[in-house]
Structure 1
Amino acid sequence: MIPLPRPWALASALLLGTAVGLIVGIGVRLAIDVELRPDVVIALVVGVPGGLGLLTVLCSNTRWATAFGAFLLAVAPGWFGVLVAIQAVQGV
């Protein structure tokens, strides 16, 4: 059984994860200026945080570990949203 944290703690972890994803997405985009294939970038941006978060949630024994896994899961949509916004602004 996965130990669920309090609803406010889970919502806070998801909100912070999305905000961190936005900040990390902007920082990585500014720091790295290498042309990569879009499918590779999407796999890295969505797959790595999603896989780590899912693994953390499934293997958690405490409520804070479940909240941390939810935080990691929420990083991916924020980061992906930054990439989509950048592509929309560039007109590609």
Structure 2
Amino acid sequence: MDEIETLGAKKLELLEHISALPVREIGAFKHFRARLFRNHTLTQSAMEGMQKAIQRTKDVAYVSAGLNTYGANGKKQHLAVKGSGVLSRRS
């Protein structure tokens, strides 16, 4: 994922460089520039999706490990959850 972020930063530098070119030279890059912007948007969305999926997986693992709560004495306690070992598709 770090490599994708590095490539994204390089791509933005390139876009800034292209945008700074004289008007007579930018014409050749218009189509290429539009593709780069679209690619950047899609890559950003994919990265956000991957981060959300990773967080969701962590959440499922945390919940499946048991329930953390407080007892009558006010101290934290961990209640193990026994399940079937099968995830439901309803979530």
Q: Which band: TM-score by shorter chain?
A: 0.3 to 0.5
More strand by share: 2
Normalised to the residue count of structure 1, the TM-score between the two structures is 0.42
Specify which structure has the higher proportion of helix.
Answer: 1
Q: Which has the larger radius of gyration?
A: 2
